């Protein structure tokens, strides 16, 4: 089967070309792979990078721990 897709936005064109270059494949194969993922026809779940910027950023803060210490206490009267 062959498709002709018109008016591909520049951002999509750039992303597909970068993906093809990074994976060492053709632009055609990168587009087919993107269509396959978009149609849900892959065994792999989609990779989400929504919170990647937080990875490895934890900083110990004793003052914060002290401020929320009350949240760690269990009120036994409420759990009877």
Q: Average of pLDDT values for 62-80?
A: 88
Output the pLDDT for position 75: 85
Output the pLDDT for position 70: 85
55 pLDDT above the threshold of 90: no
> 11-42 burial, b if ≥16 CB within 10 A, otherwise e?
eeeeebeebbeeeeeeeeebbebeeeeeeeee
Output the pLDDT for position 30: 97
**Each residue's pLDDT tens digit, 3-34:** 999 999 999 999 999 999 999 999 999 999 99
Tell which residue, 13, 9, 38, has the closest CA to residue 27: 13
Q: Are 26 and 35 in contact (CB under 8 A)?
A: no
Handedness of CA 17, 19, 22, 28 (dihedral sign): negative
């Amino acid at each position: 089967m062959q498709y002709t897709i018109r008016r591909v936005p520049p951002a999509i064109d750039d992303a597909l070309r970068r993906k093809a270059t990074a994976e060492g494949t053709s632009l055609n194969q990168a587009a087919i792979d993107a269509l396959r993922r978009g149609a849900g026809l892959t065994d792999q779940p989609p990779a989400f990078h929504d919170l990647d910027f937080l990875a490895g950023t934890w900083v110990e803060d004793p003052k914060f721990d002290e401020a929320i210490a009350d949240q760690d206490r269990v009120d036994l009267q409420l759990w009877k």
